[in-house]
A and B are shown apart, each in its own frame.
Chain A
Amino acid sequence: MIKKVLLICKNKKNLELLSDFLKKNGIYSKECFDLKEAMTMDLNKVSLSLIDLSGYDRSVLKLLSIFFEKKVPFIVIYPPQAKNKNIVPPPGSKGILIKPLNPKTLLSLIKNFLEEDI
């Protein structure tokens, strides 16, 4: 089964950059910026989801709880303002990242998850 990373992000340029980055490194991804669409999506082929919180309202928390319930591993991406703040990771999240992301760290993190998923 081809493992996919689901990218959820409201900023289309961010989405495009993330997708291009993963593609360049041989990782398939599916992109989504609409929360409603994400909530109804078939999550069977998703091995990991990266969710960028920026730009979404509180309904993004509902999506996180759906992923938690459906046992979809997810990593939450916070805006740069979250740096140096004590952030409690949302329930079920595998971790948090703060923008801007370090491409090398991101890649090794994703690869680790995908390998664990085999």
Chain B
Amino acid sequence: MDPIVAAYTVLLAVALGLSGLVQAQAHRRGRGLVLAAVLGGFVLIAAVSALSVAQSVLGTVMTALAVLFATQAAVSALRMLWRELADEDAPSAEDASS
């Protein structure tokens, strides 16, 4: 890949991330981190892609394991987000009493 194209793409993505368009609001402590973790789960796509072009037995074994661990991380991240949304839907007893 052309390094210049890569640098421009990363710079634009970082600028978008820092601009506030995709950041969580300040009072939602942890939501931004959970969303970042969910984005990290997409490393699974890179792992499957690497598995499909692996040329040796060693490469196939390592990328297959990468798929396994990436799936674990992706499922954990999605589960965290699901719980976060569920908690928001059901206010705690503390909030209800106040």
Indicate, yes or no, whether A interacts with B: no
Q: Which residues of A contact B (CB under 8 A)?
A: none
Write the residues of chain B forming the contact surface with A, with a CB cutoff of 8 angstroms.
none
